Amino acid sequence: MTNTSPSGAPLRVLIIGAGFGGIGLAIQLLKAGIRDFQILEKGDDVGGTWRDNSYPGAACDVPSHLYSYSFEPKADWSRKFAPQAEIFAYQRHCADKYGLRPHIRFGCEVAEATFDEGDGTWQLRSTAGETFRARALVSACGQLNRPAWPKVPGLERFRGALFHSARWDHGYSLEGKRVAVIGTGASAIQFVPQIAPKVARLSLFQRSAAYVIHKPDRAYRPWELALMRRLPALQKVDRLLKYVQHESRVLAFSVFPPLMKLMRARFHRHLARGIADPVLRQRLVPDYPLGCKRILISNDFYPALDRDNVEVVDCGISEVTEDAVIARDGRRIEVDAIILGTGFTATDFLAPMTLRGRGGRDLNEAWRDGAEAFLGISVSGFPNLFMLYGPNTNLGHNSILYMLESQFRYVLDGIRALDGLRYLDLKPDVQHRFNQRLQQAVRHTVWEQGCQSWYKTADGRNTNNWPGFTFTYRRQTRRLELEHYDCVR
């Protein structure tokens, strides 16, 4: 593998990241007859989020048949909601089946990328000092790839085991240990039920309660799997039905938020079934509207909190010492291990890379008021740069793979358009008008009802979520319109 094409010319495409976005786009490039590309992956294998998040109980909260490529269906998912190991295996299967590994440079983390207006190429440098050149640069870094560490005084002084759920220490045994878990988000509700029976004591530090509802999960029966294998059309029908079911939730998220009252009733029923203690039950009721933060699904989280060896601490943390967590109510809770279930720095898109566009403009400076892009894909002033799962393309109701497949088609159009051009640069007014409309739509959603979440920047701007139907997004990305761009030869 070389850092340029065999002729010494720049590569046609460089992709950063080998998760679902990078793998899927690479497959589409090969199907389009484009073989002159490389994927730069900082890890030692494909998989991205699903390679990194291997904590006990890790699983998807989107149905398996929806959380897979439409062009590479899998008939033998073991459960309605796939566990991490199966998703990771599926990603590796896709990379191997389509022969992607020769195109991937593993252990290569990009430090900076600079656009050269003279020849219309991106110049990249890795943290190891390697250099790369390409006509088109595609970021497939995703939004959930950099663990967020809480700003807790004294955390660095702790002498016991300390790790983030996305960097789980599988070599450390939790058996019989006193464990503190900080955070009650999507990861914590999955690993807490798995470790609670093993530990001597588990102290769960909750900053704010989460809405947790029933997860309609079960193992597929042997006859169901056999039927899916013999009649592939059934899997397509199941995928379509689940897509429609999940897509209908937009009516509550974005069109008519009062519909969330129906889901709130489901939450209270689920909470009552899982928690017997009325005092604890009340402490687990969020103080913000349902949907304002991510809605979680689990059948074993509440029963885990009802165990005798588990306590919920909701008064906050004052500090951490060498061997204890000091709660704000003054309690000193001695622990052997601290596990951080504190999510990711989701609003810091493309970090920690430095990207410089036309005239040396820094992307971080361009985004100082919050990340924005046209369709979450293109940014004015940064020619020939395309993003997958970029700003405002996350979903609160459906599968991100549907969004990614919409983006693959659009990005492929852009790559083809560059054949006769030096570069494509999004017009500033196109980006401005698009984001004005988008933020106006966001203001009418449940995410804007007075809570702080990972969907938003520190000043409250929602830079992550798409505020409408996914089929609307697909219609808008069905082809790249050259009139939206300055086409420079």
pLDDT band at 477; cut points 50, 70, 90: very high
Specify the pLDDT at position 136.
99
Each residue's pLDDT tens digit, 339-359: 999 999 877 888 889 999 999
* Alpha-carbon span 41 to 52, nearest angstrom: 13
Tokens of 356: 């410089």
**pLDDT at residue 166 above 90?**
yes
* Alpha-carbon span 256 to 467, nearest angstrom: 12
* Alpha-carbon span 84 to 92, nearest angstrom: 12
Each residue's pLDDT tens digit, 284-333: 999 988 888 889 999 999 999 999 999 999 999 999 999 999 999 999 99
**pLDDT at residue 482 above 80?**
yes
* E-only strand ranges, 194-343: 201-205, 212-213, 296-297, 310-313, 317-320, 324-327, 332-334, 337-340
Long-range contacts of 315-320 (CB under 8 A, 24+ apart): 316/205, 316/207, 317/152, 317/182, 317/205, 318/153, 319/152, 319/153, 319/154, 320/152, 320/153, 320/154, 320/155, 320/157, 320/158
Q: Considering the entire predicted model, what is its pTM?
A: 0.95
> For residue 129, which phi and psi values (nearest 5 degrees)?
95, 0
**pLDDT at residue 382 above 60?**
yes
* Alpha-carbon span 48 to 146, nearest angstrom: 11
The answer to whether residues 460 and 452 touch, using CB atoms and an 8 Å cutoff, is yes
The answer to whether residues 156 and 334 touch, using CB atoms and an 8 Å cutoff, is no
* Alpha-carbon span 268 to 274, nearest angstrom: 10
Specify the pLDDT at position 291.
85
Each residue's pLDDT tens digit, 243-294: 999 999 888 887 777 778 888 999 999 999 999 999 999 999 999 888 888 8
Length of the chain: 489
Of the candidates 28, 40, 18, 7, which has an alpha carbon nearest to the alpha carbon of residue 353?
40
- State the average pLDDT for the chain: 95
Does residue 384 come out as left (phi exceeding 0), alpha (psi in the -120 to 50 range) or beta?
left
Domains and CATH numbers, the chain: 11-46+100-146+345-488 (3.50.50.60), 155-210+253-340 (3.50.50.60)
Q: How far is CA 284 from CA 184, 209, 288, in A?
A: 10, 5, 12
